[in-house]
């Protein structure tokens, strides 16, 4: 994932959007502004790594970066939930 043209601002935008989307899809209700940003940024790294392992790569622009970060963020949330003690979601 190459976000060089937008720099840090694009990383923040991608991280926020991907983290928020992943937390909504995973039925977590969100982790707050900073939490969603962290989940999205770490998710971008995980998603980029996973897609590289699968042989999928290339520059897909902003939307592609959000999709990759979203996939990684969903994986991250699933791993964290699997490793953390179970909690009631009610």
- Tens-place pLDDT, residues 63-75: 888 888 899 999 9
Higher local confidence (pLDDT), 42 or 2: 42
Which residues, other chains included, contact 39 with Cβ-Cβ below 8 Å and sequence gap of 6+?
A: 15, 18, 19, 22, 23, 31, 73, 76, 77
- Domain boundary assignment for the chain: 7-83
The token duo for 12 is 């923040």
**pLDDT reading at 6 higher than 80:** no
- The whole-angstrom separation of Cα 65 and Cα 78 is 20
Q: Tens digits of per-residue pLDDT, 37-68?
A: 888 889 888 888 888 888 876 667 888 888 88
């Amino acid at each position: 994932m190459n976000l060089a043209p937008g720099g840090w601002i694009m990383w923040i935008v991608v991280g926020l959007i991907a983290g928020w989307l992943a937390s909504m899809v995973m039925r977590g209700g969100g982790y707050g502004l900073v939490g969603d940003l962290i989940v999205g940024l770490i998710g971008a790294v995980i998603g980029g790594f996973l897609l590289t392992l699968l042989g999928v790569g290339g520059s897909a622009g902003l939307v592609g970066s959000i999709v990759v970060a979203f996939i990684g963020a969903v994986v991250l949330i699933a791993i964290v939930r699997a490793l953390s003690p179970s909690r009631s979601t009610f």
